[in-house]
Amino acid sequence: MKLNRNEIALLTVLFAEVMMSSSALARDISPGEPRLADDRWTAVCHYLAIEQNPVGLKTLELREAQDRLDDAMAVLPLVRERLAKEQEILDLIRPVFERGAISELQLNRQEQQVLSVQNEVLTLELEIFSSLERMESARETIARQATRAKLATLMETSGWCQE
């Protein structure tokens, strides 16, 4: 099925508006649950992208960034909890080391473990900020393109433009 320019423009505008409102629905789904709408959204995004539509590409980018954000947000509290436990273990080991009951190597291993988990936390936080940035950029592009599409549709339907 081939759509004409007006139908693609209208579909793009409607799709962009639905995608903006659907992000709340995506957040209601637990990280472990399958997202039933994902396959449909991805299929529509790919169709729009195939039609050389920048909104379709940006909508797909927005969806992928939202998924990455959701994943990072779901894991971050668990990693922070693990960091607190590793730090607690380190705090318990230090006095034992000072009394000479354990070796410096064992203390260093625990310190390395704490640093490793801290690195995981920082990596997740960076992923969250990066995803938010990509989402904002994609939303701005979608809004600009949707505005242009609405204007083009209005101009074509009002007879201002002749092809």
Report, as ranges of residue numbers, the positions in the chain whose pLDDT lies below 50: 1, 22-34, 36, 50, 163
Q: With beta carbons less than 8 A apart as the criterion, state whether 60 and 99 touch.
A: no
Copy the structure tokens of residue 73: 């947000």
State the DSSP code for 51: T
Selection from 43, 57, 44, 39 nearest residue 14 by Cα: 44
Selection from 127, 144, 151 nearest residue 58 by Cα: 144
pLDDT at residue 153 in the model: 77
From first CA to last CA, the distance across the chain in angstroms is 22
What DSSP element (H or E) covers 163? none
State the DSSP code for 57: H
d(CA 35, CA 140) in angstroms, rounded, equals 25
Q: With beta carbons less than 8 A apart as the criterion, state whether 42 and 125 touch.
A: no
pLDDT at residue 138 in the model: 86
pLDDT at residue 69 in the model: 92
pLDDT at residue 120 in the model: 96
